[in-house]
Chains A and B, each alone.
Chain A
Amino acid sequence: GENVEQHPSTLSVQEGDSAVIKCTYSDSASNYFPWYKQELGKRPQLIIDIRSNVGEKKDQRIAVTLNKTAKHFSLHITETQPEDSAVYFCAASTYGGSQGNLIFGKGTKLSVKP
């Protein structure tokens, strides 16, 4: 089955700096890669996702890149702000498969210092 590794487990940056979180996956059939943000005491929420037919996707200060050959994908946050502080989870699944369940990484706790 699919296995998703996420690094780093914790990340501390100064406000205005960039943050990068990296994930690797094991199942070459995986083709859908969402990122979820979970603020303290709140539920996880989707912030961006990418499918395997594209290599990069941007949404304002957030971008995700995908390298299918190397089986890794990354979340990039530019011009970080204190409200970006949260736990970020990457996930992978197989679109169109009989079991499209999301397999999550263990999360990265991002702290943005003002």
Chain B
Amino acid sequence: ETGVTQTPRHLVMGMTNKKSLKCEQHLGHNAMYWYKQSAKKPLELMFVYNFKEQTENNSVPSRFSPECPNSSHLFLHLHTLQPEDSALYLCASSLMTDSYEQYFGPGTRLTVT
């Protein structure tokens, strides 16, 4: 399954570190999403981008900063995270934001120490 890829697959970072998660889709889609998956909230939408423009910020703390340079790439910049931010971060894409099937990437397992 190579439609949506994410790197790195695993990341351990300290609370003072700065790191970035990368997502790339090869499906010709126009919408991309970041989700946080944890035991508490299994699929929590964070950000939505449609044609490179952010259309949704689901009250995400500013220590998470998304970037969408084009419709194929999505980044999530992380800085001064908290241990409770440890989770699986899933990227997804769809043709449009308008109720089309979302294709998920494999996720990045993030551990904040």
Contacts and interface: CB of A to CB of B under 8 A. Distances in A.
Nearest to A43: B104
A13 interface: no
Interface stretch (A15-23, A71-79, A87-95): A87-95
Nearest to B96: A100
Interface stretch (B41-49, B67-75, B79-87): B41-49
A93 B48 CA distance: 14
A102 B93 CA distance: 12
Given A43-B90, A89-B42, 8 more contacts: A43-B1, A44-B43, A93-B99, A95-B99, A99-B97, A100-B96, A100-B100, A107-B42
B107 interface: yes
Looking at chain A, what size class is its interface with the partner chain? Answer: 20 to 34
B56 A44 contact: no
B98 A44 contact: no
Contact of B41 (A31, A43, A102, A106): A106
A24 B90 CA distance: 24
B53 interface: no
Given A43-B104, A49-B101, A95-B99, A101 B43 contact: no
Contacts of A25: none
Contacts of A94: 99
Given A32-B99, A44-B104, A49-B101, A101 B42 contact: no
10 contacts: A34-B101, A43-B104, A43-B105, A46-B102, A87-B42, A89-B43, A100-B96, A100-B100, A101-B48, A106-B42
Contact of A101 (B90, B97, B101, B106): B97
A114 interface: no
Given A45-B104, A93-B99, A102 B55 contact: no
Nearest to B50: A100
